Amino acid sequence: MIWVLVTLVFVLLRVIGDPITAAQGGRLTPEQIAERKAEAGLDRPLLVQYWEYLSGLLHGDFGRSLTDNQPISEVLRVNGAATLELSFYALVVAFAVGVPLGRLAARYRDRLPDVTLRLFAIVAYAAPVFFVGLLLKLAFTPFGWPSSGRASTSTLLTLEQVRPRTNILLVDAILWGDPRYVLEVLQYALLPALALGLLTGGVFLRLVRINLLQTMRAEYVTSARARGMAEGRVIRKVAFRNALVPVVTVMGMQVAMLLAGAVLTETTFEWKGIGYALAEYLKARDFLAVQGIVTVIALVVCVASFLIDVIVALVDPRVRF
Do the beta carbons of residue 150 and residue 189 sit within 8 Å?
Answer: yes
pLDDT at 117: 92
Residue 155: count of CB within 10 angstroms of its CB: 21
Residue 281 lies in a domain: yes
Residue 45: count of CB within 10 angstroms of its CB: 8
- Distance (Å, rounded) from C-alpha 24 to C-alpha 21? 5
pLDDT at 237: 67
Do the beta carbons of residue 185 and residue 84 sit within 8 Å?
Answer: no
pLDDT at 99: 86
Residue 204 lies in a domain: yes
Summary mean pLDDT of the chain:
81
> Could you tell me what percent of the chain has a pLDDT over 70?
82
Q: Which of 93-102, 153-162, 225-234 has the least mean pLDDT? A: 225-234
Span 20-41, pLDDT tens digits: 666 665 666 777 777 777 776 7
pLDDT at 5: 75
Span 51-71, pLDDT tens digits: 888 887 777 777 778 777 788
Q: Are residues 42 and 76 in the same domain?
A: no
Q: Are residues 134 and 227 in the same domain?
A: yes
CATH number at residue 166: 1.10.3720.10
Quick one: average pLDDT of 251-269? 76
3-state secondary structure 223-292: HHHHCCCCHHHHHHHHHHHHHCHHHHHHHHHHHHHHHHHHHHHHHHHCCCCHHHHHHHHHHCCCHHHHHH
Residue 63 lies in a domain: no
Ramachandran angles phi, psi of 63, nearest 5°: 90, -170
pLDDT at 194: 92
Q: Is 179 exposed, middle or buried (0-12, 13-18, 19+ CB in 10 A)?
A: exposed
Residue 65 lies in a domain: no
Residue 66 lies in a domain: no
Residue 266: count of CB within 10 angstroms of its CB: 26
Q: Are residues 308 and 275 in the same domain?
A: yes
- Distance (Å, rounded) from C-alpha 305 to C-alpha 168? 23
Q: Are residues 13 and 40 in the same domain?
A: yes
Residue 320 lies in a domain: no
Domain final position from 14, 33, 58: 58
Span 97-152, pLDDT tens digits: 988 898 888 888 888 988 999 999 999 888 888 889 999 999 998 888 888 888 88
Residue 123 lies in a domain: yes
Span 267-307, pLDDT tens digits: 889 898 888 888 888 887 777 788 888 888 877 777 777 77
Q: Are residues 166 and 286 in the same domain?
A: yes
Domain final position from 11, 26, 58: 58
Q: Are residues 15 and 133 in the same domain?
A: no
Q: Are residues 52 and 81 in the same domain?
A: no
Do the beta carbons of residue 182 and residue 170 sit within 8 Å?
Answer: yes
The 8-class DSSP code of residue 62 comes to -
Ramachandran angles phi, psi of 25, nearest 5°: -60, 135
Quick one: average pLDDT of 195-214? 86
Domain count within the chain: 2
Q: Are residues 15 and 87 in the same domain?
A: no
Please name the residue ranges forming H helices in the chain.
2-15, 19-24, 30-40, 46-58, 72-107, 112-126, 129-140, 153-159, 169-176, 179-215, 219-226, 231-233, 240-243, 245-269, 274-283, 287-315
Residue 177 has pLDDT above 60, yes or no: yes
Q: Are residues 211 and 142 in the same domain?
A: yes
Q: Are residues 251 and 104 in the same domain?
A: yes
Categorize the per-residue pLDDT at 16 as very low, low, confident or very high, splitting at 50, 70 and 90: low
Residue 67 lies in a domain: no
Domain final position from 31, 58, 85: 58
The residues facing 28 across adjacent strands are 25
Q: Are residues 156 and 88 in the same domain?
A: yes
Instruction: Print the domain residue range for 215.
Output: 72-315
Contacts of 187 (CB under 8 A, 6+ apart): 145, 146
Q: Are residues 34 and 79 in the same domain?
A: no
Distances 143 to 128, 131, 195 between C-alpha atoms, Å: 24, 20, 18
- Distance (Å, rounded) from C-alpha 252 to C-alpha 318? 19
Do the beta carbons of residue 268 and residue 133 sit within 8 Å?
Answer: yes
pLDDT at 258: 74
Quick one: average pLDDT of 168-191? 91
